[in-house]
Amino acid sequence: MNAAAILSHDVGKKAACKVLDIPRASFYRHMSNKPQVTQPRPASPLALTGEEKKRVIELLHSERFQDKAPHQIYAALLDEGDYYCSIRTMYRILKEVHGRVKERRRHVQRPKYSKPELLATQPNEIWSWDITKLKGPVKRTYFYLFTISRRAK
């Protein structure tokens, strides 16, 4: 911005901004030297009150809904004829309370899969099979090759 200000004295503001590829609105805002103070947005008249938010939090953390997503909670409450807030508002409230929305369901911890080891102690104990699709001589014709084999020691 300082380069644009220096150059604007010689060639003009419009030409300086065009050469330096700076939007003129940004240049004028920078040159006005007024600190940019943004006022907080006023609360919506439809926003939930503190007590209503507390009720929604209690509902989201209740034993009945603790493992459900806000979409499921919303649908279940609507089926009963109750409406507390929108799904998006439920997510916002969860974000306020927890700082971030996380997975609410309990995950099953599965054991690590280990490939079974086949050990034959006698003949005819281990059998294996496979099916393979092979192209035929004519377009869009296929043959299936079925193989069955046994492993003997």
Per-residue pLDDT of the chain (153 residues; tens, 9 = 90+): 788 888 888 899 899 999 999 999 888 888 887 666 778 889 888 889 999 999 999 999 899 998 888 999 999 999 999 999 999 999 999 888 877 676 666 677 888 888 878 777 887 788 888 999 999 999 889 999 999 887 655
φ/ψ of residue 40, rounded to 5: -65, 145
- Domain assignment of residue 44, yes or no: no
- Domain assignment of residue 109, yes or no: no
- Domain assignment of residue 134, yes or no: no
- Domain assignment of residue 15, yes or no: yes
Range of the domain at 82: 50-98
Quick one: 27 and 56 in the same domain? no
- Domain assignment of residue 128, yes or no: no
Quick one: 60 and 21 in the same domain? no
Quick one: 27 and 55 in the same domain? no
- Domain assignment of residue 103, yes or no: no
Instruction: Look at the chain and report how many structural domains it folds into.
Output: 2
